[in-house]
Amino acid sequence: MSKPVTGWVAAFAVIAAVCAAPALAQNSAPVDYGDPAAWLCLPDRDDACAVDQTTTFIAGDGSMAYEGWRRDPYAPIDCFYVYPTVSRDETANSDMTAGPGENGVAGAQFARFGSVCRTFAPLYRQATLTALRSRMSGGEMAFDVELGYNDVRAAWAHYLENENNGRGVVLIGHSQGASVLLRMIAEHIDGHPAQENVVSAILLGTNVQVPEGGGVGGSFRDLPLCRSDTQTGCIVTYSTYRSTIPPDPRALFGRGQGDYVAGCTNPAALAGGAAELSSYLGAGNVTPGGSWVDGGTDVETAYVSVPGLLTGECVSADGFSFLEVTVNGNPRDARADDIGGDIMTAGGPSATWGLHLIDVAVAMGDLVDLVQRQGEAFLEGSQR
């Protein structure tokens, strides 16, 4: 049995890059997750995961159709979500009050899963955008990494004791949230009794370390990458970059560590190869200054899907493994030929960050479908 990679902080590369700051013991009293106010999302509640997910589908010829959405209060499995760095609080670690960042990202990244699973998302005292920007610009604002991690651990323990009742659960996280889950899974789920209830873990925008060529080892002792939609107890992970802007040597995501490579699983083609991505983009994720349809009706829904516009394939290059996203624009039709979502620098789209902001959105439909199929496989296996 291989030894897990212990450099878990490196999994969230941005935080790792600035983690020279000493930890601060601020607001360190334990959170009571028996209090519903400590949760961003809970089942059967009008909260951040109950927002409308109605989507405008835009065909290649510019025609539009609408897809409705319904939260399933009787979903047979659960989803436990830890959100990325979104807090706009002015302190180094966030408080336990949801602001626009927390509420907005739950709607964009997690609410859609409510059609196939009960939704649980704890608030946690994460390292804030304020701290991140300070450290990246040479400032000295220090945050407490352990504070947010211990919050999520406490929330997970509360969920297991009071809500799980033997149900299958999918763990979902992005960026800082995925880093927190990566560590928690390695320390408290992988090889522990709770592993029996894990349908899968979706860890996006982070660096899950695996042996080159597949198999288990690296970040986890027992949990392999998912390679089919009926496989359970496995990991889905990727970071996205444009096919036209691969990661540069300073890139933060998709980076291997030591003898390991970053895992990459294409949720649209788990066995490998290229496939069309079922994206659910924010209506604002069109090319800056552009529109989804030339001279057409404005999009009135919060979300847009563009069938056939994006394809994805896991590739490896220069020490990086990542989901390469190709935009299949057609200048001869009425639909937009490109998408937004890049982090922009003075020289244009950043090859250091890639499409990190829309890691989840580019394959949202594939991820939700995968969770449904894995949930069905988990239930079938548990009934044998």
**pLDDT higher than 90, residue 348:** no
Question: pLDDT value at position 71?
Answer: 95
Question: pLDDT value at position 4?
Answer: 38
Q: Give residue 229's region: left, alpha or beta (phi > 0; psi -120 to 50).
A: alpha
Residue with more model confidence, 113 or 139: 113
Token pair for 166: 């033997």
Torsions phi, psi of 215, nearest 5?
85, -175
- Assigned domain for 338 exists: yes
- Assigned domain for 3 exists: no
pLDDT tens figures, 30-46: 999 999 999 999 999 99
| Radius of gyration for the chain, computed over Cα atoms and rounded to the nearest angstrom | 20
As a whole-number percent, the residues of the chain with pLDDT over 90 amount to 83
- Assigned domain for 31 exists: yes
Q: Can you tell me the distance from the alpha carbon of 151 to that of 180, in angstroms, rounded to the nearest whole number?
A: 10
As a whole-number percent, the residues of the chain with pLDDT over 70 amount to 92
Q: How many domains does the chain have?
A: 1
- Assigned domain for 2 exists: no
Question: pLDDT value at position 169?
Answer: 98
Closest to 116 (Cα-Cα) out of 161, 53, 61, 58: 53
Q: What is the pTM of this model?
A: 0.93
- Assigned domain for 125 exists: yes
Query: Structural domain of residue 297, as residue ranges?
Result: 8-382
